[in-house]
Amino acid sequence: MDLDRQRKAPVYEALERFRKQRVVPFDVPGHKRGRGNAELVRFLGEQCVGIDVNSMKPLDNLCHPVSVIKDAEELTADAFGAEHAFLMVNGTTSAVQAMVLSSVKHGEKIIMPRNVHKSAINALILCGAVPVYIDPKVDTKLGIPLGMELADVEAAVRDNPDAKAILINNPSYYGICSNLQAIVDLAHAKGMKALVDEAHGTHLYFGPNLPLCGMKAGADMAAISMHKSGGSLTQSSILLCGKNANIGYISRIVNLTQTTSASYLLIASLDISRRNLALHGRDSFEKVTGMAKYAREEINEIPGYYAYGHELINGGSIYDFDETKLVVNTRGVGLTGIEVYDLLRDEYDIQMEFGDLSNVMAYISIGDRLQDIERLAGALADIRRLYAKPEQSFFSAEYVTPIVKATPQEAFYAEKESLPIKETVGRISAESVMCYPPGIPIISPGEVVTEEILDYIQTAKEKGCSMQGPESEDISELQVLK
């Protein structure tokens, strides 16, 4: 990485030059630098609405960058150790979908863990590719899905030698890492592409003593949620490409789904955040790791909670662990993670990243402070004192093994009918149902509805998980194939 070059921020600098020119706008957006919407200016400020502009020659165009955006993408590739980088303004969803859509076509196979984000499964609905799911191992004590065992990936490759790609989560939402290097090497040895969903792994490229990142492992593509741990604005992300990627083709795929009216607020935030990470990322994430370690130690002093870490590593289904992920198991205090999540928000004004049936997560990143960690630990101790119940038996994991009867695309577009969800056992679902976050489907299109799945959905609803997916807003009905 060229640190002297990394001090530049070409999009941000171009916007600053543009601001000083006081150009008269006869283009979109229609608020005309805020003059047409005073309330928006009061809410966001003149500086923000003043650079909410349309693509023009001095500012380049994200659909076909030739100047300042191209320069920013080259700097991003250099910072992340990639051959090429696409700045993405449709979220990491669009980056994941671009990886899938550029790697597999209708009828072609892609190997992936079943606990993928909904964006990957939705990509299969769009292109008609056939998923070969690998069921993750499960830690029934903690209630979390784990990584892919290398032996399971080898078996999937052996049984499906015609597969075109393997998708790997690195890390999972819970901080679990599979043996990334071995899986990438296996994919390439068999002529398959290695695609890495690193929505929760931006920091792996900069922090010391963190798990291996996709580009260093030699992956063909990696989807990076810069807005999560990288500090950019929500919805801004990056698609990284390795040395053998067909950049021209991938660019065409990106432009299939990405907006033609890209927000310069998002693009500039990627440019500025990349510079920040390139220059200060190592020190920043060393502090983040230290804060997470401190938080883990403090929370583990409170009886009933368990904030897990490196001790989980087993060389297989947990090949490595991202210690910046502060996930706290709440079973020992007799509360679900979502119940603790709600109490922290409603009673202590602490907003956690998510809560599930067994765990609650704090997302520790570059904007956190030690005093906030101490406030969280104090609130958790208070919740135990005031609200703890006898330890209960919850679901064994945030994952139910699916029975796949149709591809996601076949099921999504098939003739279907809507039934009360309790009457759908044995039928093939045409919809997804998930808790969001984390956005991992409990059931996806093409999978058989079982009693276990319905019990899981009902329990999640009763405990207050935010449910989404079906057309039925209250998840009382489900569309199934006729």
Q: What's the pLDDT score for residue 394?
A: 61
More confident residue, 253 or 138: 253
More confident residue, 398 or 356: 356
Q: What is the mean pLDDT of the segment spanning 366-375? A: 94
Which tokens in the block code for residue 225? Answer: 């949620």
Q: pTM of the full predicted structure?
A: 0.94
DSSP character string of 264-328? HHHHHHHHHHHHHHHHHHHHHHHHHHHHHHHHHHHHTTSTT-EE--GGG--SSTTSEE-TTEEEE
Q: What's the pLDDT score for residue 435?
A: 86
Which tokens in the block code for residue 278? Answer: 């390139």
pLDDT tens, residue by residue, 291-322: 999 999 999 999 999 999 999 999 999 999 99
C-alpha to C-alpha distances, 120 to 159, 190, 197, nearest whole angstrom: 22, 22, 9
- Check if the beta carbon of residue 148 is closer than 8 Å to that of residue 178: yes
Which tokens in the block code for residue 102? Answer: 């550029």
Residue 249: Cβ within 10 Å count = 10
Of 320, 395, 317, nearest in space to 358 by CA? 395
Q: Letter for the amino acid at 168?
A: I
User: Alpha helices, DSSP H only, in 300-447?
Assistant: 337-348, 370-387, 408-413
C-alpha to C-alpha distances, 9 to 59, 70, 159, 340, 468, nearest whole angstrom: 13, 11, 48, 41, 38
Q: What's the pLDDT score for residue 397?
A: 59
Which tokens in the block code for residue 368? Answer: 């956190």
Share the mean pLDDT of the chain.
Answer: 95
- Check if the beta carbon of residue 111 is closer than 8 Å to that of residue 158: no
Q: What is the mean pLDDT of the segment spanning 22-26? A: 88
* Structural domains present in the chain: 3-279 (3.40.640.10), 281-387 (3.90.1150.10), 408-481 (3.90.100.10)
Kindly indicate the confidence band of residue 22, based on its pLDDT and cuts at 50, 70 and 90: confident
Q: What's the pLDDT score for residue 463?
A: 79
pLDDT of 135 above 70: yes
Task: Please classify residue 65 by burial: count the beta carbons closer than 10 Å to its beta carbon, then call 0-12 exposed, 13-18 middle and 19+ buried.
Answer: buried
Kindly indicate the confidence band of residue 439, based on its pLDDT and cuts at 50, 70 and 90: confident
